[in-house]
Structures are given as C-alpha cells and as structure tokens.
Amino acid sequence: MRSDYLFTSESVSEGHPDKVADQISDAIVDLFLSKDPEARIACETLTTTQLVVLAGEIRCKGVYENGQWAPGAQAEIEKTVRDTVKRIGYEQDGFHWEKLEFINRLHGQSAHIAQGVDAGDNKDEGAGDQGIMFGFACDETPDLMPATLYYSHKILEQLAKDRHSGAAPFLEPDAKSQVTLRYHHGKPVAATAIVVSTQHKAGYDEGAKKAELEAYVKQAVGAILPEGFITGETVWHINPTGSFEIGGPDGDAGLTGRKIIVDTYGGAAPHGGGAFSGKDPTKVDRSAAYVSRYLAKNVVAAGLATRVTIQLSYAIGVARPLSLYVDTAGTGTVSDAALEAAIAKVAEEKLGGLTPRGIRLGLGLNKPIYGPSAAYGHFGRTPDGDSFPWERADLVDALKAALS
C-alpha cells in the first residue's frame, strides 16, 4: 500500500432524493417485519416531483397472503410512506408529505423464487439471490471506518440535527458532502478539501445571508474534524454552483439503491453489486454484507490487523457460501489463510454458520431495525439494543482463542 496520498469520500443527507427512496423502502421493510418476522420483502421506491411509487415483491402474514391485501393494509403502507417523508422534513411546493401522489405497485413474491429460498424437509433456507458481498474495517476512526467517509457522514448528520432542532433554520433537507484527506504513513493527518452543498431557504445564496450559511457550515465541519485537520491550505467549496433552493425529489428523481458506495465504505474497499435498503434479511445482498462487516470489525478490534477486507459469495437457493476470502493488505498479525479458518470456525460456533438462516438468526436480523440504517451509512454506527447488531465487537475473544 502507498503510505502518502490523498483520498476522498462523499456522503448524502437524509433529504437526498435517493436517500428518501431508501428510507421509504426500509420503512416498508420494518412495517412488514413488525407484522411477520418471516416476511419476504423486495421493495423499490421511486420519488419525483409530488410523487412516490412503490414496486416489488412481498409475502407477509396478516398483510399480503394468497394474492390478497388484508383490510387496511394498503392504507397503513401509505401512512408509513407519508410519515417517513414528514420525518425527513419535506413540506415544499414540489414535494410535500401530505400533498404528494402515492402509488402502490407491490405484489406477491414469485413462487419460483420462494421455492429456492424457503427451507423444506430436506433443505436448508437458501440464499435469496446469487452475488458477492464485502465487509471492511480499518483503524482510522473509533468506529473502525475509513476516515473520509466517517467525517462526510458526520458533517451531514450535524446539519440535519441543527435543521430539525431549529439551530440552523435556513437549511432544507437535501445536502451532499465530500471530504478529501491527506494520508501520511498511511494515517489521515489533514483535510485538503471540503465540499458541502446544502439546500437552503430563499435568499441564502447572496449577500449577508450567504455569508451566514457559509460561516455556519465551516463552524459545523470544524467541530467534527479532529483538531488540526483544518488548516490555512484547506480548500472550501460551499454550494459551489450557487443557489440551491430546489432540491430533493423535486430537483432530481430518487431511486432505492443508487448510493451503495455511500452506504458502505466510501470507495475505500470493494462493495457487492446489490443494494441493502428495501430487502428482508433472507436477501444476502443485505445480510451477508452485514455479517462480513461484523467479522471484519471484530478482526480489527481484536488487533489481528489494522485493515481487513472480507468477501463472501452465494448462489440463489443454496445455503452455504461458495467462498470466504480474507485480505489484510499485509497488516495482519497472522496469515490471511489462518484468519479465514478462524473466521469460519467462530462463525459456525457463534452464529450457526454463514448460511442465510445462521446470519439472520445469529445477528437477530428478523426485526424492524432497518429504518435508521437507510441514511448516513449502514456501517460505523453505534449498536444500541436490537439496532445495528453487526456493529458489535463481541467476537474478539473467540477469534483470539481460535488462533491461539
């Protein structure tokens, strides 16, 4: 690995149109899992000017069975969608939680997919699709995430917090950030460039109001980055295109699953081809990516490497992964092959294996816990109760024991 370089990651806010779509899709996942922990959901969302459309395949006891909606189910789905948009903060002429048109095109899950995924008398539950999934961790931040992405997320979380609290009443929901850091001897040491584009109320693109917005952004970013990262050489781009009054789904259509680099590791590691939001945990796009992060985080937390990438692969309808791959980029205290063996052993003992059933039961994924994951990244979050179980660092001792 190079030791001295520049690296950049970006994030988008909860009000970005693609993130609005992700949050709606995961609100539907949570709604169905709250009714039926074994529900099957693949919910895609389209957002545009005063319109939200749901599409996809579902199966859920008490909600949608045998091709029929339960009484009141569709009204509850619509309320969930509108409540999500309201929570984000959209009450604009071009996108308003109460005034938008809502179309529900969810339908029953394909019987041919179900026969491959469902467990049977002589068959374990199979993967919901084929694919490759990656997990990553490094020692650049307390949450063992790439620093560029970590700070990009934190900047937008702070802007959203101040918008909701009224501390920054000139902000609107849509925003993007980008952080470029200088690395020296492989460690982040300074911010060379900061980009923040935030939707704002009328008038905050010129004169004293523009200066107020820019001063606020610089103060918010300065409070998040470590002391000394902002220097006289840091280049700032705050709303570089000028006015940003029209934003969100009114400014650009949004779709579920279009921000998977933002959702994962900011480009610092590979990611699989499938998105997470809108999918129940039998879909390995989601659950196997979560368990890969869980295992990677525990490897770094155990001091077995300073950075590690883990890959899993699956075939649709097949329970066990086709491969497990570990790469510590030369930072491991043991060989990568030894780590692979230890990870497989610990996963079998602690989770019941890396099958879809083992992952979702071992991590407790059959619960309505996904809404908070749909903005500001699925990884590097604080585990709390049932939330973000894949961020726990509770395999450290088991991994060490497996290698002793």
Gyration radius from the chain CA atoms: 22
> Does 123 reside within a domain?
no
**For residue 121, what pLDDT band results from cuts at 50, 70 and 90?**
low
Q: Which of 153, 154, 163, 176 is catalytic?
A: 176
Q: Catalytic residue at 19?
A: yes
Distance CA 17, CA 249 (A): 5
Q: Catalytic residue at 4?
A: no
Domains held by the chain: number:
3
**For residue 127, what pLDDT band results from cuts at 50, 70 and 90?**
confident
pLDDT, mean of residues 91-101: 97
Range of the domain at 374: 131-139+257-403
Distance CA 27, CA 15 (A): 15
Q: Catalytic residue at 40?
A: no
Q: Catalytic residue at 283?
A: yes
Same-domain pairing of 59 and 86: yes
Same-domain pairing of 333 and 311: yes
Q: Catalytic residue at 176?
A: yes
pLDDT at residue 109, as a whole number: 82
Q: Which of 118, 162, 205, 252 is catalytic?
A: 252
**For residue 114, what pLDDT band results from cuts at 50, 70 and 90?**
low
Same-domain pairing of 183 and 199: yes
> Does 35 reside within a domain?
yes
49: Cβ contacts below 8 Å, ≥ 6 apart? 94, 95, 249, 250
pLDDT at residue 375, as a whole number: 98
Q: Which of 35, 55, 57, 102 is catalytic?
A: 57
> Does 34 reside within a domain?
yes
Distances (CA, A) of 49 to 25, 92, 130, 170: 18, 10, 35, 22
Q: Catalytic residue at 187?
A: no
Same-domain pairing of 242 and 261: no
**For residue 113, what pLDDT band results from cuts at 50, 70 and 90?**
low
Q: Catalytic residue at 285?
A: yes
Same-domain pairing of 263 and 389: yes
Q: Which of 200, 258, 271, 297 is catalytic?
A: 258
**For residue 129, what pLDDT band results from cuts at 50, 70 and 90?**
confident
Q: Which of 283, 307, 357, 360 is catalytic?
A: 283
> Does 316 reside within a domain?
yes
Same-domain pairing of 79 and 95: yes
**For residue 130, what pLDDT band results from cuts at 50, 70 and 90?**
confident
Q: Which of 10, 14, 18, 157 is catalytic?
A: 18
Q: Which of 59, 259, 307, 378 is catalytic?
A: 259
Q: Catalytic residue at 172?
A: no
Domain boundary among 223, 246, 269: 246
pLDDT at residue 125, as a whole number: 75
Query: Which pTM value belongs to this model?
Result: 0.95
pLDDT at residue 115, as a whole number: 57
Closest by Cα among 50, 12, 46, 44 to 26: 44
Same-domain pairing of 68 and 107: yes
**For residue 123, what pLDDT band results from cuts at 50, 70 and 90?**
low
| Exposure string over 109-130, b if 16+ CB within 10 A, otherwise e | beeebeebbbeeeeeebbbbbb
Distance CA 50, CA 27 (A): 19
> Does 124 reside within a domain?
no
> Does 283 reside within a domain?
yes
Q: What pLDDT, in 10s, does the model give residues 197-246?
A: 999 999 999 999 999 999 999 999 999 999 999 999 999 999 999 999 99
Domain boundary among 213, 246, 279: 246
Same-domain pairing of 229 and 304: no
Same-domain pairing of 375 and 261: yes
Closest by Cα among 109, 13, 38, 136 to 367: 38
Same-domain pairing of 154 and 242: yes
Domain boundary among 211, 246, 281: 246
> Does 122 reside within a domain?
no
Q: What pLDDT, in 10s, does the model give residues 55-87?
A: 999 999 989 988 899 999 999 999 999 999 999
Q: Strands 187-200, 235-238: parallel, antiparallel or unpaired by DSSP?
A: parallel
Q: Catalytic residue at 30?
A: no
Same-domain pairing of 195 and 171: yes
Looking up residue 275, the CATH number of its domain turns out to be: 3.30.300.10
The whole-chain average pLDDT of the chain stands at 95
Same-domain pairing of 203 and 334: no
For CA atoms 106, 112, 118, 121, give the dihedral sign.
positive
> Does 268 reside within a domain?
yes
